[in-house]
Amino acid sequence: MSISVRVQQEDFDLATEYQRLAQNKQCGAVVTFTGLVRDSVEGGLRGLELEHYPGMTEKALTDIVEEAQKRWDLRGVTVIHRVGYLSLNEQIVMVAVASGHRQAAFSAASFIMDYLKTQAPFWKKEHTEEGEHWVEAKQSDQQAAEQWSQQQ
Amino acid sequence: MITVKFFAVLRERLGLAETQVDADVSTVQELVQVLKQQSERYAKELDRYQLLCAVNQNLLPLTTEVKDGDEVALFPPVTGG
């Protein structure tokens, strides 16, 4: 099982990351998720600034991946989260999960994203034409993560 | 001495990313109380948001015990992904 967790300013290439995971001979399924900067404020979003907690971030993401590994039979996981200033439509985050069969890959990818959203120390600040403001956490994200703990 | 870090809106409004606290406290909650008594600014900002905390870089409840030499981070709910 290969785990790769990266927090970086630079962009990433989905095809390269996919190839790396797909090389594993026992891998029968790869699920990838990519999150992008979208215009969520009825027009006028220029970009996002992503702050994080250096040191803790990598550890928190690794803990989440290890928890996923306990729940499903996985062959490889890659998590990349970008930080710094990101313009509209740029890639923010990528989760790729390789496993023997699709169900584990789909579930683990979803689990990792739900936990990342509520446990990993990242904060978004929106830059709009009218100014800047910090994004508030959504109750729906909290509920999505809690559903997994009830299934445990 | 406990190192206290602030992030996101809290860091911005306090105008401070890190501070040292030398006080006899046993939990993060008590540490927050000590900060609130230190200045009006702390009192106001630490009450403004739902507060999350990490102790030695692990996300934990505010009731978590702390000791000399620990790194405590205080921040609003996370919004990554």
Q: Quick: pLDDT tens for A99-111.
A: 999 999 999 999 9
Mean pLDDT computed over every residue of chain B: 96
Placement of tokens 């998590």 in the chain: A79
Residue closest to B3 by CA, chosen among B15, A124, B16: B16
Is residue B29 within 8 Å of B62, Cβ to Cβ?
yes
Inspect the interface and report whether the beta carbons of A125 and B8 lie closer than 8 Å: yes
Inspect the interface and report whether the beta carbons of A116 and B81 lie closer than 8 Å: yes
Placement of tokens 């907690």 in the chain: A53
Question: Is B55 touching A (CB cutoff 8 A)?
Answer: no
Question: ipTM, 2 decimals?
Answer: 0.95
Please write the tens of the pLDDT for every residue from B35-59. 999 999 999 999 988 999 999 999 9
Q: Over 80: is that where the pLDDT of B16 sits?
A: yes
Is residue A33 within 8 Å of A92, Cβ to Cβ?
no
Mutate to test the interface with A, among B56, B57, B58 (most CBs of A within 10 A): B57
The alpha carbon of residue A45 is apart from the nearest alpha carbon of chain B, in Å, by 17
Which residues of chain A, if any, have pLDDT below 70?
41, 43, 152
Res A152: pLDDT = 59
For residues A48 and A56, what is the distance between their CA atoms, to the nearest angstrom?
21
Q: Over 90: is that where the pLDDT of B62 sits?
A: yes
Is residue B79 within 8 Å of A122, Cβ to Cβ?
yes
Res A41: pLDDT = 64
Residue closest to A60 by CA, chosen among A122, A127, A150, A106: A122
Res A40: pLDDT = 73
Res A150: pLDDT = 82
Query: Is the whole-model pTM more than 0.80?
Result: yes
Question: Is A92 touching B (CB cutoff 8 A)?
Answer: yes
